[in-house]
Structure 1
Amino acid sequence: MKQRALALAGLLQSVQQVRRIATTGGSDTGALAPCVDSLFRIDAETAQDVYGGPANLEPGLRLLFDTASGASLRDPAITRIAVTLLHVERRFSRQPQLMQAVHAGILDIARQREHWGPSHPTVLGRLGELYAGTVSSLRPRVLVQGNPNYLGQPTVVAEIRAVLLAGLRSAVLWRQLGGGYIDLLLRRRQIAEAARAWLDEA
């Protein structure tokens, strides 16, 4: 469960940044970078390696602990978007050609990520284009609400899509580690305990 909890924290941290971008026009780079970087760590052996350690996911782990403990979130849209991404992941994982297209696109963008870093506008823009050309065709659609002034800006929309792709990466990892809806329904206490354990290590 501990490894699965880290994947869920990655998902929540990505969605939290999606909401921040949609409502304020900008992200928390420190929280954003490990989420986006996870896209390029395709062959990582552990969940820790995917995110660079639990310290990089402290915001997501706190969100996960609060959610699994039954606390009322200030932004319930985070849970809604995260659940939608878990549904999208099921469709995505059943389409090998689509998965291959995303994989190839990420490998191509990796050169720019190495040069500029994961949070550079060019990297985020290309990841956003990749999401728009692949994952956005899947249903259910991920609906992101926010400030219309920001959501009308192409660069903001591209950044949101890039971070949604990072969220999907975490959803895929969650499933690969054996996560399922039964965990979310019946094992919330174990998830909260795992999140607390990671926070103690962060």
Structure 2
Amino acid sequence: MSPLQEQLVALGAVFEAAVLADKIARTGQVSEASMGCMLGSLLVRDPKSTLDVYGGDDLNLRDGYRALISSLERNPSALQREPLRYALAMIGLERQLDKRSDMLQVMGSRLDQIQQQVEHFGLVHDNVIAACGGLYQDTISTFRQRIQVHGDMRFLQQPNNAAKIRALLLAGIRSARLWRQLGGHRWQLVFSRSKLLKELYELTRS
């Protein structure tokens, strides 16, 4: 994979987290495989490649790629507005998180504890999701900038769905961090649209 493709995998994962959060907010449903991919990405510490963070392939990132493509194409009829809003907010929150080494330390130790829960219960167990959601609440939710998730209140008010959404936002911010570490910048989304789209079309075809 080229460096740009590696960046797009990570950025696609930010958008995947956003799409899944939106899906839960609107329908209360999300596939276990997609949820597992995002939760698993929080726990990978020393990946050999970017794809390793997401289970070794990008099959569970395809909806994220599509949402990213629709954002870059600027086609009003295809644009997924809420996922785009969430994705940009996650990228912004990651920049704030980067300035908080104390919070990063807390997150690292809490994720170690969550890893132990995963070994005991399994990756997509309610306890693990609740722990990830709780970690988001105790850290990212303390920033002044908040992500307001819109959807159907019947689903948003269910504690398990709320925990899933928070866990996904946490995973999205982790992917935003990875994207930036791989050389990603927000200005690329404005000034390098055609270049990014060309690579994304390749990724979605492969």
Q: What TM-score bracket applies, with the shorter chain setting the length? A: over 0.9
> Alpha-carbon deviations, 1:87-120, whole Å to 9, x = none?
1000001100101111111111012223333222
Residue 200 of structure 1 aligns to which amino acid in structure 2?
Answer: R
TM-score by length of structure 2 reads 0.91
Of 119, 122, 131, the residue aligned with 2:124 is: 119
Residue 59 of structure 1 aligns to which amino acid in structure 2?
Answer: D
Report whether the alignment pairs 1:190 with 2:195: yes
Residue 120 of structure 2 aligns to which amino acid in structure 1?
Answer: H
Decide which moves more: 161-170 or 188-197: 188-197
1:6–1:195 Cα contact (<8 Å) kept:
no
* Corresponding residue for residue 90 of structure 2: 85
Report whether the alignment pairs 1:24 with 2:22: no
CA distance in 1, matches of 2:90, 2:144: 10
Decide which moves more: 120-129 or 51-60: 51-60
Which runs of 5 or more residues in structure 2 are unaligned? Answer: none
Which runs of 5 or more residues in structure 1 are unaligned? Answer: none
> Alpha-carbon deviations, 1:46-79, whole Å to 9, x = none?
2111112122312212222232233333531111
> Alpha-carbon deviations, 1:113-169, whole Å to 9, x = none?
233332221110110011101111113111101111222222221111111101111
CA distance in 2, matches of 1:183, 1:140: 23
TM-score by length of structure 1 reads 0.93
Report whether the alignment pairs 1:57 with 2:75: no
2:70–2:80 Cα contact (<8 Å) kept:
no
Of 104, 126, 147, the residue aligned with 1:99 is: 104
Displacement, 1:173? 0.6
CA distance in 2, matches of 1:194, 1:74: 19
CA RMSD of aligned residues (A): 1.5
Report whether the alignment pairs 1:144 with 2:144: no
* Corresponding residue for residue 176 of structure 2: 171
* Corresponding residue for residue 68 of structure 1: 72
CA distance in 1, matches of 2:63, 2:8: 13
Structure 1 residues 69 and 123: alpha-carbon distance in aligned structure 2, compared to 1, 3 A threshold: same
Of 34, 38, 46, the residue aligned with 1:35 is: 38
Residue 194 of structure 1 aligns to which amino acid in structure 2?
Answer: E
